[in-house]
Every structure is written in C-alpha cells, then in structure tokens.
Structure 1
Amino acid sequence: MPVLVSNLQGKVAVDEALTGLLTRAAQEVLKAEGYGEEAEVSLVFVDDAYIHGLNRQYRGVDAPTDVLSFAMQEGEPLAGGEEELILGDVVISLQAAERQAGEYGHSLQREAAYLAVHGVLHLLGYDHQGEEERKIMRRKEEEVLGRLNLTR
C-alpha cells in the first residue's frame, strides 16, 4: 500500500513522525476497506494559499479549506483488485490543520491524521452530504483514528 508524501509548504514543520503517522492513517483506511498492497494514494501537504487556489479552481469556492480529495475514479466506492490501483491525491492544508487543532483542543498530529483519513475515505467514494452518509463516514473515521490511538 504505497502512500506517496509530498510537502509543498514551509509554514508548518513536517517531521518523520508526522509523515509516518499520516502514512499509517491512510494505510489503515485502505486496510479497513479491504484494499491490498496494490492500492496507492498520495498525500500532499500545502498551505492555505495553495489550497485556496485549488478550491477556487476545482470547486468554484473562493476560500481556503482544510482538505481536498482528487479521485482518479468518481462514483461508488472502488473494489480492490490484483493490479496496481492508483486511487488519487489527498491535499491537506497543514496551516488549517494547525489552526483547527488549536480550536478543537487537540494536537496537530491528531487533526492532520483526521484530515488524511477523511480525504482517503472521499477517494473511496464516501461522502457526507446527507445525514446518513455523514454518520457512516464519521463512524469510519473514528474507527480508524481509534486504531491509531488518536481519539478525541
């Protein structure tokens, strides 16, 4: 389960511990959803200005956000297969993660891991537009974070 990590920002310190945690978070989602070693995702760390531009360009929202997912395939959750399966990119604003961690009273690590899990679930087709969808997605997020010992 390759997780490719790119740090395109310099405003929030990124060390091996954070990179390792977010890699494990992404892998835990994939394992929980039945994906094998063929599944690949990318995590891209950016700042607020960068994600603002992406949000404006791809969603028509002229504001920064905390996480965006760019799936290689759209629609229903994907089924794992035997060949290499590139699922897509999860773009995380570490500035937003740091700010939200302070607002919610937990660590940057916990917030960034939550955003990674949330983003990977979006790559797999999960959403939170309706109340039932939101409950399903939130339960899956909390299960994965619990396995990483990152509870609220």
Structure 2
Amino acid sequence: MASLDLTLAWSNEQEVQEITPAFIEKVEELLRLAGELEGIAAGEVALTFVDDETIQELNKQYRDLDKPTDVLSFAMSEFGEDELQINYEDDGADTEGLDDEELVSESFIEPLGDIIISVPRAIAQAEEYGHSVERELGFLFVHGFLHLIGYDHQSEEEEKVMFAKQEDILLKAGLTR
C-alpha cells in the first residue's frame, strides 16, 4: 500500500477540557485508520475544539439552526460555482515541464475540510452514553471525517453504513464503549 500523507491541523478554542498531546496522537491515529479504510491517501483535515456558544453561532450561520450541536463538518470538495479558485504563486521552485496536477502535488496539501467539535456537547454525551470523553471526541472526529469524504446518514441504510464504519475505526484505535 502507498504511504499515507494525511495531516491534521488542530486548534483549541475552548477551556472546558484539556486537549493533551496524547489525545492528539489518538486523533492522528483515527485519521490514519479512517484514511486507510476509505482509500484516502493524502489531504489535510483542520480540527477545532470549541465551546457551545461558538458551535451554535456556526450552526446558525451555516445551517440556519440556532442551537448548539456536537460536530460540524465543512468539506472542501463541495465547491459551488461562486467559490473562489485557488491560485498557486511561483515560489521559485523548478517547475518547468510539470503539468498542473504535478504543480499542485509539489507545493500543496489538498485540504479535505474542517471539523468543529463542541467539547461541552461531547462531555455531556459521554456521560449520557456511559463512556469516556476521549471516546466521544474520537467518535465525533471520525463522524466528521466521514462527512468530509461524502458519507451521510439521511436514510436508515446510510446511517447503518456510516455508523458501522465509525465503530470499526474506533475499535481498531482502542476507543471502545
């Protein structure tokens, strides 16, 4: 199998729960496992941990729902006709003879999208479901990642497929209930 070049860019914009280096390593493992399962060999996922107020603002702005939610995903592959195109500037690298695809791969990691997780929602759901906060945060990350790459759960069948994949990834990473 080709090597994976999936990267995680993350930020913490909440003060409810410490986000430890060990937990970020676990999220990176989840990303690797999900990428392997789904055949996603390269890309970057931006993950942000927020509070309920922030996720409620985003939920209202982007989904017209004025309430907090547990996770939001914004896939970069869902470009509308009004979206801006990315232009790559010349950085002085020797690019003579490379086609457009090679130019992009030489200088750019494809963003898969953004995942925003409400830590207070994750804590409440972990208590409700009787498992660790780390497992719930991991679940929400994997759930968000699968949305980024096109999965949804609008129908019962779609939900079964998506949730089975989530559980498989979490099990492989040792994040059990």
- TM-score by structure 1 length? 0.90
Alignment size in residue pairs: 146
Q: Bigger shift: 17-26 or 44-53?
A: 17-26
Choose from 49, 53, 60 the match for 1:49: 53
Matched, 1:58 2:62: yes
CA distance in 1, matches of 2:28, 2:74: 17
Rg larger for: 2
Matched, 1:111 2:140: no
Choose from 128, 135, 139 the match for 2:160: 135
Shift of 1:19: 1.7
Identity among equivalent pairs (%): 47
Which residue of 2 is the match for residue 95 of structure 1? Answer: 120
Indicate if the aligned counterparts of 1:114 and 1:141 stay in contact, CA closer than 8 A. Answer: yes
Q: Deviations over 1:105-131 (max 9, x none)?
A: 100110000000000000000000001
- TM-score by structure 2 length? 0.78
Which residue of 2 is the match for residue 122 of structure 1? Answer: 147
Q: Deviations over 1:128-152 (max 9, x none)?
A: 0001100110111011001101122
CA distance in 2, matches of 1:65, 1:71: 17
| Structure 1 unaligned blocks of 5 or more | 76-80
Which residue of 2 is the match for residue 11 of structure 1? Answer: 16
| Structure 2 unaligned blocks of 5 or more | 1-5, 80-100
CA distance in 1, matches of 2:154, 2:173: 26
Shift of 1:34: 0.7
Structure 1 residue matching 2:165: 3-state secondary structure: helix
CA distance in 2, matches of 1:85, 1:58: 23
CA distance in 2, matches of 1:44, 1:26: 15
